[in-house]
Amino acid sequence: MAATTVSSNDWKSLIPELTLEEKCSLLAGADFWRTAAIERLGIPSLKMSDGPNGARGENFFGGKTSACFPASVSLAATWDAELVHAVGHALAEDTKSKGAKLLLGPTVCPHRHPLGGRNFESFSEDPLLAGSLAAQYIKGLQRNGTGAVIKHYAANEQETLRNTIDVRVSERALREIYLRPFEIAINEAKPFGVMTAYNSVNGAHADMNEFLLKKVLREEWEFKGLVMSDWGGTNSTAGSLNAGLDLEMPGPSAHRTLSQVQKVLEGEVTMETIDERVSNVLEFTEEQAIDLPEHRALIRKAGADGIVLLKNNNNILPLQPSQHKSIALVGLAKEYLGHGGGSAAVNSHHKVTAFDALTEAFGNACDLRYAEGARILRSLPPLTTNVRTRDGQPGFEVEMSFADATPRKSLVSPSSIFQHFEIRNIASAVMTGIYTPTETGAHYISFNIFGEATISINGQVVLTRENSRDLMATLIGSGAAVTIQHEFVQGHEYEICISAKAGDCSDAGIAILGTAYLGFSLGLAHQNEYEADLLSAAVDAARTSEIAIVFTGHTPAWETEGVDRETFALPKDGSQDRLVEAVAAVNPNTIVVNCTGSPIDMPWASRVASIVQAWFPGQEAGHSIADVLLGNVNPGGKLPTTFPKSLDHCSANAHFPGDVENRVVEYKEDIFIGYRHHDRFPDDVLFPFGFGLSYTTFSIDEASMQLSPDFVSGPQSTINIRVKVKNTGPVRGSEVVQIYIGYQGDISGVERPRKELCGFDKVEIKAGAEEWVDIKVAPRSLSSWNDERKVWAIDEGKYELYIATSSTDIHGIRELNVPSAFDIPASVRG
């Protein structure tokens, strides 16, 4: 049959022409990143790409460079819908440069606990803020045809046992907190796709959860797009097809082969269901590295606009280059901290460090003194220099064998890391390199593996590892490596050989790699380098400088997909906290710039002059940070998540990460996460939700606050709030007006938070000027989910609208009346 040319609107007409085998091929990926093509009917393959802050392309390691945009938590800290829309649009352009049609993002799961490994990749603890900004991200991304795949649906708030954990959560908490950002983004922006989570929700895997997929997503929200699994997150054939999972990723299929589908068609699944799944799939070149100057400028601006000034005693910031003769830059000043780890990691076009940017900005006007101060490596750096193969090529020779009839394969690896996602049925690998050390003495060697391995040097076994099963830690380099010492002599040649066998990964609950996987990493460092006293040099630099800036934070190995953080403290083993304490003890003008995607413990907060929360601001990280430190950008960021004083003050802490032995986590704190909990215990908060300082000051004229109308009579009512904001300080700046709603008492027989965010807007104002800010609030914001009636219930009574600049900085209150109670059905959008 000749190929048929059709428009995307006519794909459904081809379904009757598809054979069952062709339908099966469309229900799962053809390979790791692409859907199947049906050439005889002109149906093309569609390519997808990670991830939410940059289109990485199909290679996890290396590959073409990409623009690295600020992490979603950094975007959320801008509270700027227009800016997030612009970032989404730029991401679409970068996605097209990788030949991809779909970008796997944004991630919108709320921040339930500060140790959540993937918090940085999502927006906020508040569902309205997360959903509203995600909607703008999606609108920008899809403006010119690139599709967004919102994820991970739903209740994926931890990485511990993420593939097998069962999340037990009330329907009320699901509706009000964990589904709400998805609902807002899907209703407002209509993303092309939804990606299901790995975990189960109330006993049913997300990929075959009929409540989530059928009842809520398809029926109530009327979602018409594609529903796809996370990679390896399909757990059945019939169950996922019947629940509404259209596409299993990646390919080749583990659950949707022709024989498997033929079997379930005998009674468990109808052909109508198969055709419906195929229809949704049908709705929906070569990679390039295009470094656009407009993308650089946007990333630099977005990164700076998301930076939050948490403390600024005596207006120590902004810095004045002409007034400072010496500044110590210590800690992670030379570390590129643009992104977190896992799917959000990209090979950035640029990797601008704070040291590089400040050196560029200051020129010769100031003596910048660098000291590392603390070592935070999770494992030693891979061996990439002074090593060659037997035939003289740089790097290591790797020879692989397979469990089936696949011929043996060889390749040259530039470093002592071996990982291959797309090689199936791998049984073993041998990596060999000739290393010539440049220093005599003891060297530290660290090693991490999934599987089994023997390491030998010149034929002598120096390390054996058996039955290592930490799959995700191996994949992303965040595992606990075994470290040994070995003596080397300068100029001598040493043959390093790693002989490794694949391990069984079936317990990981992920079908990406079949039943076996092999990955390992060897790191090496000389003893003098490894054991150097870094702290003393940093203290000396700080003591003799006018200003000391300590850069703290997480590298991608410490905050990443795949593993939750182990501690609220900065890594490693207290070294960064000791560095800040020691520097602050000798220099009263100590500024801390922290780059993390989540709250951290700050035991030194009261002893430093200034604290700047910079998040993961993307490839222009150093420039964004320097712009704020020097006052080129007036910080206007506000916290999208609460910074508690300790983990003990977090409502979810007693239930995180849950019952690991039985693979169950109960959300016993229900809806009371983030500021909803902390409003009841304000003394437990270090920095509140919505908080952020500026280099100028603002006032909100309480007398100007207007509320119209002052009552709500039904689901179609609209509440309008108008408020005048004045810049009372010396420079131009921005303020975020935040509207919260509260009801002092129990509504519909359930406990309510004291207040909840129901609207916000950001305004930029010149010094001495004033602007009106207008915000609309929907009646849905007054409601609480009623589990018995399955509706959004709004009770009769008096509500309070708080006009604020953070969850604790209230500038005025207006009373709102509901003359009589009414319900909003679950299917009504709002």
Q: Output the DSSP codes for 273-340.
A: HHHHHHHHHHH---------HHHHHHHHHHHHHT-EEEEEGGG--S--GGG-SEEEEEESTTS--S--
What is the spatial distance between Cα 330 and Cα 589, in angstroms, rounded to a whole number? 13
Q: Which residues contact 293 (CB under 8 A, 6 or more apart)?
A: none
Provide the b/e sequence for 699-712 (b: ≥16 CB within 10 Å): ebeeeebebeeeeb
Task: Compute how many other C-beta atoms are within 10 angstroms of the C-beta atom of residue 300.
Answer: 25
- Cα 572 to Cα 334, 374, 381, 603, distances in angstroms: 17, 8, 15, 15
CB 450 within 8 A of CB 470: yes
3-state SS, 215-231, equals: HHHHHHCCCCCEEECCC
At 238 the three-state DSSP class reads: helix
CB 496 within 8 A of CB 463: no
Active site residue 761: no
What is the spatial distance between Cα 735 and Cα 806, in angstroms, rounded to a whole number? 11
Beta bridge pairs of residue 150: 194
Asked, as a colleague might, if the bond just before 572 is cis with ω within 30 of 0, I would say: yes
What is the spatial distance between Cα 104 and Cα 625, in angstroms, rounded to a whole number? 28
CB 777 within 8 A of CB 810: no
Residue 57: left if φ>0, alpha if ψ -120 to 50, beta else—which one? left
What is the spatial distance between Cα 227 and Cα 535, in angstroms, rounded to a whole number? 51
Task: Compute how many other C-beta atoms are within 10 angstroms of the C-beta atom of residue 497.
Answer: 16
Catalytic one of 207, 230, 305, 627: 230
Quick one: tokens of 155? Answer: 């209740």
**Amino acid, single-letter form, for residue 695:** Y
Catalytic residues, by residue number, are 230
